[in-house]
Amino acid sequence: MLVEERSRNIGNFMVGRLLPFREKRQVGPFTFIDHFGPVYIGPEEYSDVDQHPHTGLCTLSYLFSGETEHKDSTGAHHIIKPGDVGLMTAGKAVTHTERTPPHLRNGQSYLSHGYQVWIALPLEKEEMDPRFDFVAKEDLPQWKEGDLRMILVAGEGYGRKSPLPVHSPLFMVDILAEKDGDLDIKGHLEGEIAVVVVKGTVRDGEDTIEAGQMLISKTDNECCLWLEADTQLLLFGGPALPEPRYLFWNFVASSKERLKQASEDWENKRFPKVPDDDTYIPLPMPFKR
């Protein structure tokens, strides 16, 4: 399956959305994949996503360029830099902001490029306490497979395990091809597989896939592609969750009743707050079953 990136507004900027789409709502536990940039931010307007809520999911931030200041209602405060990975587990309720760090608000512009993904929590952890986990770039597993440079961002794959705590079996792998050659996934990853082309060119038989597109394998655990030199990919996936998931705005749940409750709680300002932050993004529309 070939998926084209679709544009949407988020905060002051445009992002490209790859997941979900009509034919495929999830890949493994991954429910949502947003791509932003590469784009220059500033000097007249910087990135500011005000206080907003989440339930039933984890948000994972992964950057290639730029920096993001993350604050949330658990008290977590981190500057996420290129190659670092931040994972916020919303559980029963969390609120957070994402902004240009103060040291980059210097009257100049900076290049921003990266991905934010949502990972649905398994049923037994939907109502867990929220938390934030951070792993610096240098602490992630990094190695070479022939002419491929590999980084295991999250989960397990290729006989390795990322130190990032996750809540169900999954994988997220950053791959860079130093020369033309094949990528054979068979036997290295378990579950459904999505291949996001960050830059460069991928070929599957006679089909050519370019940056900004995503491939979803029709068969679990196996996939073989040809990569042009300097092509960069992100692989996402894992075993599918046994129950369906529903989405409304920033909420993910295994029932529509839970989405309704989360929406009412946000409207009535019953969510925890980010310390020392009074901003508030209203619910964009009433919840309808």
Report the CATH number that the domain containing residue 102 is assigned in CATH.
2.60.120.10
In angstroms, the CA 225 to CA 256 distance is: 39
Confidence of residue 23 (pLDDT cuts 50, 70, 90): low
Q: What are phi and psi of 261, to 5 degrees?
A: -60, -45
Model confidence, pTM? 0.91
- pLDDT at residue 10 greater than cutoff 80: no
Are the CB atoms for 16 and 224 separated by under 8 Å?
A: no
- What is residue 207's predicted lDDT score, i.e. its pLDDT? 78
Tell me the one-letter amino acid at 116: Q
Confidence of residue 6 (pLDDT cuts 50, 70, 90): very low
Q: For residue 252, is it within any domain?
A: no
Q: For residue 204, is it within any domain?
A: yes
Query: What single-letter DSSP state applies at residue 273?
Result: -
- The tokens describing 288, both together, are 């309808």
- pLDDT at residue 219 greater than cutoff 80: no
Q: For residue 197, is it within any domain?
A: yes
Distance of CA 263 to the CA centre of its chain: 22
Confidence of residue 16 (pLDDT cuts 50, 70, 90): very low
- pLDDT at residue 15 greater than cutoff 60: no
- What is residue 19's predicted lDDT score, i.e. its pLDDT? 54
Exposed, middle or buried: residue 210 (CB in 10 Å: 0-12, 13-18, 19+)?
exposed
- pLDDT at residue 33 greater than cutoff 90: no
Q: What is the mean pLDDT of residues 220-242?
A: 88
- pLDDT at residue 221 greater than cutoff 80: no
Q: Which domain holds residue 149?
A: 2-238
Q: How many domains does the chain have?
A: 1
In angstroms, the CA 81 to CA 63 distance is: 7
More confident residue, 9 or 109: 109
In angstroms, the CA 187 to CA 209 distance is: 23
Q: For residue 224, is it within any domain?
A: yes
- pLDDT at residue 18 greater than cutoff 90: no
Q: How do the residues of the chain divide into helix, strand and coil, expressed in percent and rounded to 5?
A: 5, 50, 40
Confidence of residue 17 (pLDDT cuts 50, 70, 90): very low
User: What would the pLDDT profile of 130-153 be if each residue is shown by its tens digit?
Assistant: 999 999 999 999 999 999 999 999
- Counting every residue, how long is the chain? 289
Q: Do the bridges between strand 213-216 and strand 2-4 make them parallel or antiparallel, or are there none, so unpaired?
A: antiparallel
Q: For residue 168, is it within any domain?
A: yes
Average pLDDT value for the chain: 90
Q: For residue 10, is it within any domain?
A: yes
Q: For residue 276, is it within any domain?
A: no
Are the CB atoms for 278 and 72 separated by under 8 Å?
A: no
Q: For residue 272, is it within any domain?
A: no
- pLDDT at residue 12 greater than cutoff 80: no
